[in-house]
Amino acid sequence: MILNAAILNGALEIMPQTLATMAIVPLQMRLVYRIGSAYGYELDRGHIKDFLATVGIGLTSQVLEGFTQQLIGGFARRLTGRFIGGLISQATGSAFAFASTYALGQVARKYYASGRTLNAGQLKEVFANMLSSGRSLQDRYVGDIQQQSQQVNVAQLLPLVRAA
């Protein structure tokens, strides 16, 4: 479930429709909900409050990724031209969307598997470790991400986002 969500979110970042990238955070939140449910937790106010730090990490990373993607893409466009710079920017965004979704899913899995006993410091540590793992794992799934980007129907994203 986590790997499939990471591949989908990586694919959304390389699609030409910017609307697709707006679906990443809600899809990450849906992933967290599904993982919690798999461990027998229904997300109520207490669970949401406990997990906000982790979701905040995901939201913060998306904002940081967007800034980094623009910075790298702009620099690459100046060096290599608009088309190649755009491809570099998309690749950077895709890699980060994959890695951050993978990390967020793994943090949620560990959090709920532990009976929600991890504190904020532990959650941040697990996220950092899993983000590193996700970055290295992303190279293995580049082909799957590209294939998924060709199969996603943007019109089908709205119900997925609403379900989040």
pLDDT the model gives residue 52: 56
Asked whether the beta carbons of 21 and 101 are under 8 A apart, the reply is no
User: How does pLDDT run across 70-112, given as a tens digit for each residue?
Assistant: 454 445 445 555 444 444 444 557 888 899 899 999 999 999 9
Q: How far is CA 72 from CA 30, 75, 87, 91, 133, in A?
A: 29, 5, 11, 10, 22
Reading the block at residue 77, the tokens are: 């466009």
Indicate whether this model's pTM tops 0.85.
no
Give me the phi and psi of 107, to 5 degrees please: -65, -45
User: How does pLDDT run across 17-54, given as a tens digit for each residue?
Assistant: 666 667 887 888 888 889 999 999 887 656 655 665 56
What angle, rounded to 10 degrees, do the helices at 142-151 and 2-14 form? 70
